[in-house]
Amino acid sequence: MATTLWPTLEPPAPREFLPRHVAIIMDGNGRWASRRGLVRVRGHEAGVESVRDCVRYSGQTHLKALTLYAFSTENWKRPRTEVTYLMRLLKKYLIEERDELHANGVRLTSIGRVEELPKDVRECLEHVQEHTAGNRGLTLSLALNYGSQDEIRDAARALAGKVARGELSADEIDEAQVAAHLHTAGLPPVDLLIRTAGEQRISNFLLWQASGADFHVAQPCWPDFRRADLIEAMLAYAGRRKGAALAGPREPA
């Protein structure tokens, strides 16, 4: 089967007003399914099409980075059948999308404790990451077994270790040092954080990285979320930036 090459699209607003890094808390799969009288996993399955559409659009408009919250550290508490299904779905996505992502210059990365994922899923993930590592287009980062507090604690431990070994002094620990010890090291900060299904919770996602981000709550459940909804969030973001640019620099206090 020939691989689809994505035609470039004009971004929805001048680039200077648009986010460089968008992160999405993909929520509402279960609700989407139950409202249709379906089992929850049908919602997860349907959500894959939303992932495809948003990834393509992000690639087509030359967004720098898109981070998707796919599985949290808390999500292990869900019924085992659901967890197994989610893992299987992830593996299927990686296998099916590898060539298209690669052909379109997408670099796949992950954040979270991926070493705790089932071995076959982890190997598949590592394979696609290695395969696309040299790409310079969109960075698609999948948050898997991710928890922001865990991540910050691990960074604190790593920095403390460096101080204990005399490699770093405590005074040298600044924002850049902390950022460099997070899983997102090298990625720009999150400019726009979207959560679907009308929820207003952060759910332990990118607490450090999204500290300056705009938060956009989208009403559709994730399986109904498409590029039009992403564009709406980006335009709202751009509108605020344009407004600020027109207002000019703030007077010093």
If we measure between CA atoms, which residue out of 148, 144, 105, 106 comes closest to residue 124?
144
- Rounded least distance, CB 27 to Mg ion, Å: 4
- Rounded least distance, CB 222 to Mg ion, Å: 9
In the β-sheet with 139-146, what is the strand arrangement from edge to edge?
107-111, 139-146, 65-72, 21-25, 192-195, 214-217
DSSP 157-217: HHHHHHHHTTSS-GGG--HHHHHHTSTTTTSPPPSEEEE-TT----TT--TTTTTT-EEEE
Q: b/e map of 148-174 (b: 16 or more CB within 10 Å)?
A: beebeeebeeebeebeeeeeeeeeebe
Which DSSP category does 116 fall into? G
Q: Tell me the residue nearest to ligand IPE as measured from the CB.
A: 30
- Rounded least distance, CB 200 to Mg ion, Å: 12
The whole-angstrom separation of Cα 170 and Cα 107 is 34
Closer CB to ligand IPE, residue 36 or residue 240?
A: 36
- Catalytic residue chosen out of the listed positions 53, 75, 154, 224: 75
The whole-angstrom separation of Cα 99 and Cα 184 is 24
Q: Where on the chain is the footprint of ligand IPE (CB under 6 A)? A: 25-31, 69-72, 74-75, 86, 197, 201, 203, 222
- Rounded least distance, CB 88 to ligand IPE, Å: 13
Binding partner of residue 97 among ligand IPE, Mg ion, none, CB cut-off 5 to 8 Å per kind: none
Closer CB to ligand IPE, residue 30 or residue 189?
A: 30
27 is catalytic: yes
Closer CB to Mg ion, residue 27 or residue 100?
A: 27
Q: Where on the chain is the footprint of Mg ion (CB under 5 A)? A: 27
- Rounded least distance, CB 145 to ligand IPE, Å: 10
75 is catalytic: yes
Which DSSP category does 37 fall into? T
Task: Check residue 197 and give left, alpha or beta (phi > 0: left; psi -120 to 50: alpha).
Answer: left
Binding partner of residue 12 among ligand IPE, Mg ion, none, CB cut-off 5 to 8 Å per kind: none
Binding partner of residue 71 among ligand IPE, Mg ion, none, CB cut-off 5 to 8 Å per kind: ligand IPE
Q: Which burial class, exposed, middle or buried, applies to 113 when counting CB atoms under 10 A from its CB (0-12, 13-18, 19+)?
A: middle
Binding partner of residue 177 among Mg ion, ligand IPE, none, CB cut-off 5 to 8 Å per kind: none
Binding partner of residue 126 among Mg ion, ligand IPE, none, CB cut-off 5 to 8 Å per kind: none
Closer CB to ligand IPE, residue 21 or residue 42?
A: 42
Closer CB to Mg ion, residue 71 or residue 237?
A: 71
Q: Which amino acids are annotated catalytic?
A: 27, 75
